[in-house]
Structure 1
Amino acid sequence: MKKILKRYRGFLIVLIAMLLLTAINYDLGTKALGISLNSIGEMLLIIPPVFILLGLLDIWVPRETMVRYMGEGSGLKGILLAFFIGSAAAGPLYGAFPVAAVFMKKGVKFSNILIFIGAWSTTKIPMFLFEMGSLGSRFAIARLLIDIPGIILIAYILSKIMSREEVEKMYENAKNMD
Structure 2
Amino acid sequence: MALLKKYRFAVFSLAVLMTLFFFDTPQGITALQVTAFSVKEMLMIVPPIFILLGLLDVWVPRETMVRFMGTGSGVKGVLLAFFLGSAAAGPLYGAFPIAAVLMKKGTSYRNILIFLGAWSTTKIPLLLFEMTSMGVPFMLARLLVNIPGILFIAWLVDFLISDDERQRLYLNAEHLAR
> What TM-score results when the alignment is normalised by the length of structure 1?
0.97
Report the Cα distance in structure 1 between the residues aligned to 2:161 and 2:132, rounded to whole angstroms: 39
Read off the aligned partner of 2:58 and give its amino acid letter: I
Report the Cα distance in structure 2 between the residues aligned to 1:56 and 1:90, rounded to whole angstroms: 17
1:134 and 2:97 correspond: no
Report the Cα distance in structure 2 between the residues aligned to 1:173 and 1:139, rounded to whole angstroms: 39
Gaps of 5+ in 2: none
Give the structure 1 partner of residue 51 of structure 2: 52
How far is 1:142 from its partner?
1.0
RMSD of Structure 2 on Structure 1 (CA): 0.7
The aligned length equals: 177
Cα deviation, 1:85-108, whole Å, max 9, x if unaligned, reads 000000000000000000110000
Gaps of 5+ in 1: none
5 Å-filtered alignment, 1:11-90, equals 11-90=10-89
Report the Cα distance in structure 2 between the residues aligned to 1:115 and 1:19, rounded to whole angstroms: 41
Q: Is the partner of 1:176 in helix, strand or coil?
A: helix
Cα deviation, 1:13-38, whole Å, max 9, x if unaligned, reads 11011000111111111111111111
1:102 and 2:101 correspond: yes
Read off the aligned partner of 1:170 and give its amino acid letter: L
State the 4+ residue runs in structure 1 displaced beyond 6 angstroms: none
Identity fraction in percent = 57
Cα deviation, 1:44-65, whole Å, max 9, x if unaligned, reads 0000000000000000000000
Q: Is the partner of 2:89 in helix, strand or coil?
A: coil
Report the Cα distance in structure 2 between the residues aligned to 1:66 and 1:107, rounded to whole angstroms: 6
> What TM-score results when the alignment is normalised by the length of structure 2?
0.97
Report the Cα distance in structure 1 between the residues aligned to 2:167 and 2:3, rounded to whole angstroms: 30
Report the Cα distance in structure 2 between the residues aligned to 1:22 and 1:90, rounded to whole angstroms: 35
Q: Is the partner of 2:90 in helix, strand or coil?
A: coil
